[in-house]
Structure 1
Amino acid sequence: MKTDTEIETAIAQLAQGDRSALRPLWKALAPQVLGICTAILQDDLAARAALEQVFIKIWHNADGLAQSGYPPRVWVCTIARNHALDLIRAAQAEGVPEPEPRKDVAWPEGRIGDALALLPTGHGQLIARAYAYGEGYGTLAQRMGRMPDLMPMLLRKSLSALREALTT
């Protein structure tokens, strides 16, 4: 899927509820969208999270392409640009607080605790705070000095590292 016509067709299929059209659209446009988000956000983790959010917006607003009158690539890139800028504005409006001084949480006992201790700095604490102590995205984001939108991706990355630590 390289031509605007193919991309437009895939977006039209999405608008009609065909979720299978999302995969070829992702393959065709994700590198470009990621490049836009990375250039604006200057943070790889934030850009990857924004990439997912942009494609969710494309999925939910696929019928907007026909109404926009723009070529499909321009429409998608505009969504990516605007989303990345919205994230920056939101972070500036919130003042993205410094993480508060905190005591480390106690590790769970046993195999999981041992695996959490082996994770890169911060990942074990993030998992323990989220799953053992029930802290939400907002609290975790404040502690880490990150935007709340990044927390689902960061937790997935941390859980993936935990899974790997448990299998070795």
Structure 2
Amino acid sequence: MTPDEGREHLTEQLQAVARGDRTALAQIYHLTSAKLYGLVLRILSNRDEAEDVLQEVYLTVWNKADRFDPTRASPISWLAAIARNRAIDRLRALRSRSGHDSAEAANDLPDEAPGPLHLLETGDEARRLVTCLETIDERTRGAIVSAFFGGRTYEELATSAGMPLGTMKSAIRRALIRLRGCLEP
């Protein structure tokens, strides 16, 4: 299956899920769960939590598939955004429950597994994304990659870059607008 055929197939499956087709949800799970699990696990660094979040992701897909717009994003991008947001929400909840940043200590441990960005680079869509990312200045590109593939928050990025939060948000927003323009067919 070519990347375009795969994207079209996932789009059709999401539209079927929006109509209440459980078989389509199972198909989406089969096609995307490994990638999404890798993304969530990279953010949470805990297999049990990642599995719980992955279940939440597909529950969200079941409940919100009607909101997917193939003219705004590819199916895998839409699914990855849901997964990333759920994982970050869970990470914040875990941090607030524990009363300390034990998750920060996990950031110092080396991760030998290929990250979600590396896994995505194998497809045509990812190659286009990488090409477009290269048009953005290195500092902003690093912030975008850290935020969207590493699970870092805007506040964490601003602190590590030594800049005001609003400035970081503005820089990322401008870069995302530029990326959207670059990625549009």
Please indicate the TM-score interval, normalised by the length of the shorter structure. 0.5 to 0.7
Question: Are 2:89 and 1:90 aligned?
Answer: no
Match for residue 34 of structure 1 among 28, 34, 37: 37
Normalising to structure 2: TM-score of the pair? 0.49
Secondary structure in 2 matching 1:69: coil
Instruction: Tell me, in whole angstroms, the C-alpha distance in 2 between the residues paired with 1:47 and 1:56.
Output: 14
Instruction: Tell me, in whole angstroms, the C-alpha distance in 1 between the residues paired with 2:70 and 2:99.
Output: 36
| CA RMSD of superposed structures (Å) | 2.0
The answer for the alignment partner of 2:58 in structure 1 is: 55
Which runs of no fewer than 5 residues in structure 1 stay unpaired?
98-168
Higher Rg of the two aligned structures: 1
How much has 1:67 moved relative to structure 2? 7.6
> Identity percentage over the alignment?
27
| Counterpart code for 1:15 | A
Q: Flag the 1:64–1:83 CA change in 2: closer, same or farther, 3 A.
A: same
How much has 1:95 moved relative to structure 2? 3.2
Which runs of no fewer than 5 residues in structure 2 stay unpaired?
101-185
Instruction: Tell me, in whole angstroms, the C-alpha distance in 1 between the residues paired with 2:9 and 2:27.
Output: 10
Normalising to structure 1: TM-score of the pair? 0.54
The answer for the alignment partner of 1:7 in structure 2 is: 10
Instruction: Tell me, in whole angstroms, the C-alpha distance in 2 between the residues paired with 1:78 and 1:63.
Output: 16
Q: Between Structure 1 and Structure 2, how many residues are aligned?
A: 97
Q: Flag the 1:52–1:92 CA change in 2: closer, same or farther, 3 A.
A: same
Task: Tell me if the contact between 2:11 and 2:70 (Cα under 8 Å) persists in the aligned partners.
Answer: no
How much has 1:47 moved relative to structure 2? 0.7
